[in-house]
Amino acid sequence: MKVDVLLFASLADRAGTASETVELPPGADVAALWEALVARHPALDAAGYRPMAACDREYAEWDRRLDGVREVAFLPPVSGG
């Protein structure tokens, strides 16, 4: 299955791209997608955290299966004041 991936802020900087399409086997979950991205862009692993994930614009857990999901966004932690 193909999943469109969006990377935001520092994650896009580390990967050198804000979006790409990833091919995954059926039944893959968010964690498997992240592992595939880290394999392509090792600098993502250097971030030292697991980013928030959203599947089709709804926050998702790392064990969320991606069957039927078209888009996954990864967002770094935010802080502000």
Domain assignment present for residue 81? The answer is no
Domain range enclosing 67? 2-75
pTM: 0.92
Q: At residue 24, what is the residue type? A: L
pLDDT at 79: 65
3-state helix, strand, coil in the chain (%, to 5): 30, 30, 40
Query: Would you say residue 80 lies in a domain?
Result: no
Residue 81 has what pLDDT? 57
* Structural domains counted in the chain: 1
pLDDT along the chain (81 residues), means of 10: 96 96 97 97 86 97 97 86 57
pLDDT at 77: 83
CATH code of the domain in which 71 resides: 3.10.20.30
Residues 6 or more apart whose Cβ sits within 8 Å of residue 18: 6, 7, 8, 12
- Residue listed under structure tokens 């935010």: 78
Length of the chain: 81
